[in-house]
Amino acid sequence: MAKCHRNNIGSLILDRAPSTSSSSTSGNHFRLWSTFSRSTFRRKIVDAVSCGGSSRYRHELREEDDEGSYVTVTAKSTVASKDAKANTIGAALNGVAFEEKSKKSEKLCDLLNLAEVEADVETKKKEEALEVLKRVVRELQSAAAARGDNDDVEDYRKKLTAASEVRLLAKEDSEARVTLAMLGAIPPLVSMIDDSRIVDAQIDSLYALLNLGIGNDTNKAAIVKAGAVHKMLKLIESPNAPDQEIAEAVVANFLGLSALDSNKPIIGSSGAIIFLVKTLQNLDETSSSQAREDALRALYNLSIYQPNVSFILETDLITYLLNTLGDMEVSERILAILSNLVAVPEGRKAISLVCDAFPVLVDVLNWTDSPGCQEKATYILMLMAHKGYGDRQAMIEAGIESALLELTLLGSALAQKRASRILECLRVDKGKQVLDSTGSCGALSAPIYGTRDNGLDHEENDLMMSEERKAVKQLVQQSLQSNMKRIVKRANLPQDFVPSEHFKSLSLSSTSKSLPF
């Protein structure tokens, strides 16, 4: 900074020359001291300007004192100028901060106002929607009240329009379903079911009830309580053949209503099962594929409630299901129904009485591409094998052993477990058969050694053990032969195919270690 101060323009040396004559009129005058050349003077001016000049620093005045020295006087205004600048900057910053705070406050107010406006709009929409629902229910109730007094065409049109509106409003809006039911829309809709004057009114009322029950157990219970099930059956059983669309709507309603456990006994005992079985069988070829699928699912829901099994057994549903079991699209659902039926003794007996029931079920065990069907089929066979000796014999005759042995190796974990249990039941039966055929005791338990009370000496015990070994060996040979026959059948080989001597030697030399249990 010292250099800049020395090069300041204000530091140029001025010479006050004394007057040569006291009477001179010119008085004292100043002249520039020519101590440096023009280039030097120009350079000093440039240096002074580059160091800030008068724009950044205040001029310093140098005055020569009486002794020839120079005193540099610095203007006090520099400090005042700095303070003024600081105050100006502070005021500016304060102004900016205040302005920013004002803008933020304005934005917050705008957001609050916008939220309030949106809330008002939403409230207004809900109020308008509620008014629409109230109007629709009023029209339904007024039309139902005027029904017995020869209501005119206008009232009937209002009823039809209201039922159609309920159908649309309740289709995808869960809140509308709750509100419509609370306003009392269900009873007038149920009363429209058996009004046979206009088919469209029946269809709209049925589908309106169906939509009201979607995902709402309270509404499902209220629909059944209002008497919808009996009115639907009355509509179906009328002398005049019902319209196909009406029948499909009734089936869809039975499917939705049967999903609620409290409705299962009411629907099952009402006679709806007979109608659902007829729809499933489609004997008159009028049911659509969707109606048949809905009927099958409704029957599954109803079969979960065990007292309904007796109503199912009054039809020929089991025979139809077993004959349709090859259809892969519905096989798993069919097996699910049979799994519910086999849980009661009457159901097991009905299944065992069906011709070729066990060959059909055994064939399902080989469906490696459908683990779910395999698991359900093994469940059915496991219960029947555990409960009935005659059923086990029928399973053996159907060739279940080879299928079970294959399933214990290739099936899912659950199917393997169930297959092993079935094999265990069959093994006990075969051991008993062999022992009974030799005149020995039917029990397979090992004899108690070291006692004389059992009436058997050591030779008899050895004979018993040898007979048991023979029984196990015979069981192994039969299992291997049955496996070979099944492999030949699946490979489409000639029926007179004779196994090689090597295979026979393997079967003769096999031991019980080859069994999977």
Residue 398 counted as domain residue:
yes
pLDDT of residue 470: 63
What average pLDDT does the segment 220-246 reach?
A: 89
Helix (H, G, I), strand (E, B) or coil at 63: strand
Checking if the pLDDT of 338 tops 70, the result is: yes
For 432-470, the pLDDT digits (tens) are 554 454 454 443 333 333 344 444 444 545 555 556 566
Residue 159 counted as domain residue:
no
61-64 and 29-32: which strand pairing?
unpaired
pLDDT of residue 156: 74
Most confident of 26-35, 62-71, 185-194, 452-461: 185-194
Helix (H, G, I), strand (E, B) or coil at 397: helix
What average pLDDT does the segment 360-376 reach?
A: 90
What average pLDDT does the segment 83-94 reach?
A: 60
Arithmetic mean of pLDDT over the chain: 74
pLDDT of residue 302: 97
- Which token pair is 303? 């079969």
Residue 405 counted as domain residue:
yes
Longest pairwise C-alpha distance within the chain: 177
State which amino acid sits at residue 356.
D
Residue 395 counted as domain residue:
yes
Produce one character per residue of 36-71: b if its CB has 16 or more CB atoms within 10 Å, e if not. eeeeeeeebeebbeebebeeebebbebeeeeeeeee
pLDDT of residue 64: 46
3-state helix, strand, coil in the chain (%, to 5): 70, 5, 25
Checking if the pLDDT of 391 tops 60, the result is: yes
For 491-507, the pLDDT digits (tens) are 555 555 455 454 444 44
pLDDT of residue 169: 93
Helix (H, G, I), strand (E, B) or coil at 333: helix
Checking if the pLDDT of 25 tops 80, the result is: no
pLDDT of residue 177: 95
Residue 253 counted as domain residue:
no
Q: Left, alpha or beta for 450 (phi > 0: left; psi -120 to 50: alpha)?
A: left
pLDDT of residue 253: 97
For 172-203, the pLDDT digits (tens) are 899 999 999 999 999 999 999 987 667 788 89
As for how many domains the chain has, the answer is 1
321 vs 469, residue with greater confidence: 321
Cα separation, 468 vs 428, whole angstroms: 11
29-32 and 70-73: which strand pairing?
unpaired
Residue range(s) defining the domain that contains residue 419: 351-436
Query: H-type helices in 260-329, by residue range?
Result: 264-269, 272-281, 289-303, 309-313, 317-323
pLDDT of residue 240: 72
Cα separation, 422 vs 478, whole angstroms: 16
pLDDT of residue 117: 75
What average pLDDT does the segment 272-281 reach?
A: 95
Cβ atoms 180, 212 nearer than 8 A: yes
pLDDT of residue 370: 87
Q: Strands (DSSP E) along 412-511, which ranges?
A: none
pLDDT of residue 167: 93
Tell me what percent of the residues of the chain surpass a pLDDT of 90.
39
Residue 425 counted as domain residue:
yes
pTM assigned to the model: 0.64
Tell me what percent of the residues of the chain surpass a pLDDT of 70.
60
What average pLDDT does the segment 417-434 reach?
A: 78
Residue 426 counted as domain residue:
yes
335 vs 156, residue with greater confidence: 335
Helix (H, G, I), strand (E, B) or coil at 70: strand
Cβ atoms 213, 170 nearer than 8 A: no
Residue 412 counted as domain residue:
yes
pLDDT of residue 195: 75
78 vs 134, residue with greater confidence: 134
Instruction: Name the band, by pLDDT with cuts 50, 70 and 90, for residue 272.
Output: very high
Checking if the pLDDT of 404 tops 70, the result is: yes
285 vs 281, residue with greater confidence: 281
